[in-house]
Amino acid sequence: MEDKAKMKKFSTWKLQLRMILASIILFTLIYALVTVVGVFLGITGPLFYVGFGLLIVFVQYLAGPKLVGWSMKVNYVSPEEAPNLHRMVEELAMNAGIPKPKVGISDFSIPNAFAFGRTQKDGRVCVTRGILNILDEEELKAVLGHEISHIKHRDMIVMTFISAVPLVCYYLAWSTIFSGDNNNNLFLVGIAAFAAYVIGQLLVMFISRVREYYADQGSVEIGCQPHKLASALYKLTYGSADANKEELKEVEGLKAFFVNDVSSARSEIQELGQIDLDMDGTISESELNQLKYDEVNIKTSSKVFELISTHPNMLKRVKRLAEMN
């Protein structure tokens, strides 16, 4: 038991270190490039770009929760309206050592859940209408534990800050490439800024994937069962694959908040078939235990797609949960 505790602590430390290092690389690389380009063009001093990035972060910090809530059609519910949800959220928040978040239900039928907010005290945990119809209570609790772990780890704040950096590069690229000026140097600067934007986005996606692993682990650490979270992820993937295409388009810009990448669900179904040995649509504890010793087959195309995804490959996530079981 002591060895397992040490392994878990070390794993958490590694995940935190990855987020910190990726954030430092992102800010250093992108801001250095944008500042050098701005000074070269004589647009203004480097402080303008730093100030512009901070302004975006400040606006995101103030308006972010309202924008997410409005975009996701969230209706906050009272303990009387949703007693089971409030009971589970309160219990998990107590286990995590954070204030109880606000509880909301999103009017989307795509089965999923998400968390957002400015601080731990401002945390909000929401589920969609669709998730309430397909998960049993322990599976839902495991998903809520995943979302509460995002609040506990404060990675929502990290995502808010780092997501602003590529926006600065995108703004610079747009204003130079499509400025109407025939200056070749200006066009090359725009191309460089766009390249920086792409690099920035890749790093943001990397951090987003890391935090999902971290939240999966957090769910287990605050009392949820690994096989119940694995089973929930399995069901959510199938639910996302069957979701209405128009709804999928509506949530495309906010899918990083979700438990799984709803856009890649269809391509992940075949790989997940390797886990459900009795084909009953759930992942049992014995099936997850078996996965500890079995090799999984992840297609090359899936590995490539993961690099441009906000979430880790689902089969890899379940394999990691098997190692925690």
Least confident interval from 124-133, 195-204, 286-295: 195-204
pLDDT for the residue numbered 99? 97
Asked if pLDDT for residue 301 goes beyond 90, the answer is no
Length in residues, the chain: 325
Asked if pLDDT for residue 45 goes beyond 60, the answer is no
Report how many domains make up the chain. 1
pLDDT for the residue numbered 3? 43
Say which residues have a Cβ less than 8 Å from residue 198's Cβ, sequence separation at least 6. Answer: none
What is the signed CA dihedral for 149, 125, 203, 39, rounded to 10 degrees?
A: -120
What is the 3-state composition of the chain as percent helix, strand, coil, each rounded to the nearest 5?
Answer: 70, 5, 25
pLDDT digits (tens, 9 = 90+) for 119-143: 899 999 999 999 998 999 999 999 9
Q: Which residue has the higher pLDDT, 178 or 305?
A: 305
Residue 152's H or E segment, with its range, is helix 137-153
Active site residues: 147
Q: Which residue has the higher pLDDT, 65 or 158?
A: 65
The residue segments making up the domain with residue 134 are 2-324
Asked if pLDDT for residue 184 goes beyond 70, the answer is no
Residue 285's H or E segment, with its range, is helix 285-291
- The SS3 of residue 281 is coil
Q: Which is it for strands 113-116 and 102-106: parallel, antiparallel or unpaired?
A: unpaired
Say which residues have a Cβ less than 8 Å from residue 8's Cβ, sequence separation at least 6. Answer: 217, 221, 324
Q: Which residue has the higher pLDDT, 295 or 319?
A: 319
Residue 43's H or E segment, with its range, is none
- 311: its two tokens: 């979430």
Say which residues have a Cβ less than 8 Å from residue 277's Cβ, sequence separation at least 6. Answer: 287, 290
pLDDT digits (tens, 9 = 90+) for 137-159: 999 999 999 999 999 988 877 77
Percent of the chain with pLDDT over 90: 38
Residue 275's H or E segment, with its range, is none
Say which residues have a Cβ less than 8 Å from residue 12's Cβ, sequence separation at least 6. Answer: 214, 217
Q: Amino acid identity of 252?
A: E
What residue has token string 């500890």?
Answer: 292
Contact 222, 96 (CB under 8 A): yes
> What is the residue-wise DSSP string for 85-148?
HHHHHHHHHHHHTSPPPEEEEES--S--EEEE-SSSTT-EEEEEGGGGGT--HHHHHHHHHHHH
Asked if pLDDT for residue 2 goes beyond 50, the answer is no
pTM of the predicted model as reported, rounded to 2 decimal places: 0.81
Q: Which residue has the higher pLDDT, 88 or 118?
A: 88
CA 10 and chain centroid, separation:
22
Can you tell me the distance from the alpha carbon of 135 to that of 147, in angstroms, rounded to the nearest whole number?
Answer: 15
pLDDT for the residue numbered 36? 61
